[in-house]
Amino acid sequence: MMCTLYLTAFDRVIRHWMKILVNYKCVSMISKNKKEVREDNPIEDLKKLNVDRQANGGIMKFEKLYINGEYVDSTSGEFIEVENPATNEIIGRVPRGNAEDVEKAALAAKEAFKTFSLTSFDERIEIMKKFAAYLKENLDEIAELITKELGSPIKFSKKTHVQSQINRVEKYINIVKDYEFSRRDGGALIVKEPAGVVGCLTPWNYPLGQIIQKIVFAILAGNTIVLKPSQQTPLVAYYVVDGLEKAGLPKGVLNLVTGVGGEVGNAIATSKYIDVISFTGSTKGGSEVAKLAQETVKRTTLELGGKSPAIFLDKENLELGVKQLLAIVIENTGQTCSAWSRAIVLESVREEFEAEIKKQFPDFKVGDPNDRNSIAGPLASKKQYDKVTDYIEKGKEIADVLIEGNYDFPEKGYYVNPIVFNDVKNDAVIARDEIFGPVLCVIYVKDKKEAIEVANDTDYGLSGAVFGNQEEALEVAKLVRTGTITVNDGPGEIGTPFGGYKLSGYGREGGIEGLEEYLETKTINVRA
């Protein structure tokens, strides 16, 4: 009798799981009605506020945290000011959250996980489709805000910071649609299920893109989130909250806690209610977060720094290669972890390479981010400006300058002229350290073998490129120790796995591999 009861109960459990796996709507948490506009919504406040007319002193109002579906005051009562790096004006302020706020957010996420993890994939996909539609509808506003808080040119903000991220959401939806969340292995059922509460720590250089990279897969997989954006560019995160709330995301699934990394970030890393950490930032910061997360045996994904190579083997595809090289080094003012900041050039093509750099360099204009002709704007902060200019001064002491910008910048703003250093030794500080600015180091080598050796002689392994004869370039690309590498005009497919080797981190964002960072594997022994 006891055995019969046990088997019956077990059978009910299996049937319950099978219903989830075939997307039966076991829980319906999503409002079918259009959400009403909330009176306490900072995005609606912003739309009423004409910043250009200096209403409210020109300061945007983002003065609440978002926890358990409500905009709430921070425990500290303190705020962090957000500066426009092109004008040095304060354009907004956000709460300085603390560990107590993180615990409230983590508890809300833990509670929401109990039901949200049981929703169907169809429901979650529908939320993300509505979110993508929201981003499209508000593309111009979001891009303008990113230009204000980051300093990136408006054209780049629209195309790369926003439109590319809409494309990413759509790609991630398709990946989830095609993914096999369960499979049979003999007498066992192998199930992929949500990992739990995810702590997302994002950097300042791609303020929307890095949030999208993390939360879209996490939510589609059925997880709940505590999000901490960079204190430097936190404003766009409120559009993410607004968009997902209007898309019908249940309360507690996404929680936003703004603040300082060493305070809020550390609290997220150590919270016993958080199961997974996804961090993008500096190698130093990632290492510290990983150490803290180990205390509670959290799974961590780290996307960190880079000092990536672009190898030029011969004259073939030289013009194309130089154009791509200068774009990735100068666009976003060089503040891209995957920038090819080391050009490794065979001596046999030196003369042609130098001529091509000089020819194309003037095409990459640095200036006012509101000027549609600007390719790059200012650096993102005074701290970043001081760091980059210090490296430039060091570089001028130890290397030749092939070409340098000569722009007449305004008195205000953290502008810096892009520069190409020539004949740099690979052991030089400017060739070893991640500068995170529009600084390119050109290193000459005698042959293909040395090019590969120099490319791999780095503490990092995040990105790279090889230009030359297609067959030979592909052969070289396979020997470079890096997570992503481009061969000639190879398209950079959005949504493919991205991550690094060595000090560039571990784990992947994007692709099937990125989705699986937010899934646990369960084996159920049961007859078919």
The span from the CA of 268 to the CA of 198, in Å, is 9
Which residue type is seen at 465? A
Strands ordered across the beta sheet of 342-346: 400-404, 419-422, 439-445, 342-346, 309-312, 465-467, 486-487
411, HSE (Cβ side, Cα atoms, 13 Å): 0
Q: Is the dihedral of CA 475, 479, 483, 488 positive or negative?
A: negative
3-state secondary structure of 164: helix
Whole-angstrom Cα distance, residue 346 to residue 360? 20
Residue 103 and residue 86 in contact, taking contact as beta carbons nearer than 8 Å? no
Question: What is the distance of C-alpha 204 from the center of its chain?
Answer: 9
CB-based contacts of 449, cutoff 8 Å, min separation 6: none
397 is catalytic: no
Q: Is 141 exposed, middle or buried (0-12, 13-18, 19+ CB in 10 A)?
A: middle
Q: Residues 245, 303, 516, 517: which is the catalytic one?
A: 303
Angstrom distance (rounded) from CA 279 to CA 292: 12
* C-alpha to C-alpha distance for 230 and 291, rounded to whole angstroms: 20
The C-alpha atoms of residue 134 and residue 155 are separated, in whole angstroms, by 20
324 in Cβ contact with 488 (< 8 Å): no
User: Which structure tokens are listed for 238?
Assistant: 């409120």
User: Rounded to whole angstroms, how far apart are CA atoms 165 and 135?
Assistant: 9
Please tell me the distance from the alpha carbon of residue 416 to that of residue 84, in angstroms, as a whole number. 16
Are 366 and 330 spatial neighbours (Cβ–Cβ below 8 Å)? yes
- DSSP bridge pairs for 523: 190
Please classify residue 3 by burial: count the beta carbons closer than 10 Å to its beta carbon, then call 0-12 exposed, 13-18 middle and 19+ buried: exposed
- CA–CA dist 517, 520 (Å, integer): 8
Burial tier of 373 (Cβ tally within 10 Å: 0-12, 13-18, 19+): exposed
Q: Which residues are catalytic?
A: 303
